[in-house]
Amino acid sequence: MRKVGLIGCGHVGATVALDIVQGGLVDELIIIDKKREKAEAEVLDLLDALSLLPFYVEIYVGEYTDLVNADIILSTLGHIELIKPGGDRFTELKANIPEIKEVSEQLNRINFKGILIATTNPNDVIVNLYSQLLNLPQSHIIGTGTYLDTARMKAQVSKALKIDGRAIEGYVLGEHGNSQFTAWSTVRVGDNLF
């Protein structure tokens, strides 16, 4: 069975949940959020969407004890509302640290042994914090890092060159934040260096 837990059902969490369900990527999806009513509303929407798909996914709002044998847990919690225009991702850190500590305590309590993927910002700092707090090998704690930034770069190059973004290869490197940079030496359009 492919069992995934999703902690945090804001904009990112809800989008990830929809992608997981539409892709038929799991057999069971458990959503946990401090705002239980919000999570329940998202689950209702997902169940509606599920009725149009060719496969079944068990979807429900759960508790940490439901995650005991989860294969993967996605940490998408955060406080994006704290970031003002022009601000940086570190603005969320003070609010996110206590929540990461609480999640870690809960996951350690149930002896979670799967893989944790974090999108929470500031991503590199949060992944490091999870590494310190969770009873998991470091290889089981993954951050999305600059993956999204790489997608954004490819979209901008695609737009500027008016070509399909799938023809573009390359990477944004560094810390997911103000110090990240495009490694232009890695950027290719088809077989050509950019």
Q: Which tens digit of pLDDT belongs to each residue from 142-162?
A: 998 777 888 888 999 999 999
Q: 138 and 160, same structural domain? A: no
The pLDDT score that the predictor gives to residue 83 is 63
CATH code of residue 42: 3.40.50.720
For 83, which DSSP code?
P
Residue 140 annotated to the active site = no
Catalytic residue chosen out of the listed positions 11, 79, 140, 176: 176
Domain-terminating residue out of 101, 121, 143: 143
Domain that holds residue 160: 147-193
- Number of domain units in the chain: 2
The CA–CA distances, whole Å, from 32 to 68, 75, 138, 139, 186 equal 13, 10, 23, 24, 39
pTM metric for this prediction: 0.85
Q: 86 and 14, same structural domain? A: yes
Q: 38 and 100, same structural domain? A: yes
End-to-end C-alpha distance for the chain, whole angstroms: 43
Q: 37 and 81, same structural domain? A: yes
Q: Which tens digit of pLDDT belongs to each residue from 92-141?
A: 788 899 999 999 999 999 999 999 999 988 888 999 999 999 999 999 99
